């Protein structure tokens, strides 16, 4: 399994967890750090760990990073929308 696929699966899980947290406790969406930024932080943490452990040939591409961030955000948005929770992104 390529690292890109692992990253996309990880970001989908991050989106599910973030969406579940916002649905369970809607007041968490009002923190200084917004939920979409939680997804960005998770992506950055994965990238840092991958960078430290990879030999150069097994690193994430830019397309995978952007796709993962978008996937995590969309999954989070889908879960909050289906649950009826309004999240301000700005």
pLDDT at res. 71: 93
Residue 89 above 70 pLDDT? no
pTM of the model: 0.85
Q: Are 3 and 50 in contact (CB under 8 A)?
A: yes
Is 22 buried (19+), middle (13-18) or exposed (0-12) by CB count in 10 A? buried
* 61 membership: H or E segment, kind and range: none
**Chain CA centroid to CA 59, Å:** 18
53 or 33: whose pLDDT is higher? 33
Q: Is the C-alpha dihedral spanning 79, 82, 87, 89 positive or negative? A: positive
Query: Alpha helices of 1-90 — where are they, by DSSP H?
Result: 3-24, 35-53, 62-83
Q: Flag whether pLDDT at 72 surpasses 80.
A: yes
């Amino acid at each position: 399994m390529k690292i890109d696929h692992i990253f996309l699966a990880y970001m989908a899980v991050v989106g599910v967890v973030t969406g579940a947290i916002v649905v369970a406790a809607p007041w968490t969406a009002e923190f200084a750090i917004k939920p979409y930024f939680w997804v960005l932080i998770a992506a950055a943490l994965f990238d840092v760990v991958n960078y430290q452990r990879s030999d150069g040939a097994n690193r994430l591409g830019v397309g995978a990073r952007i796709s993962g961030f978008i996937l995590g955000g969309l999954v989070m948005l889908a879960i909050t929308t289906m649950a009826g929770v309004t999240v301000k992104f700005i």
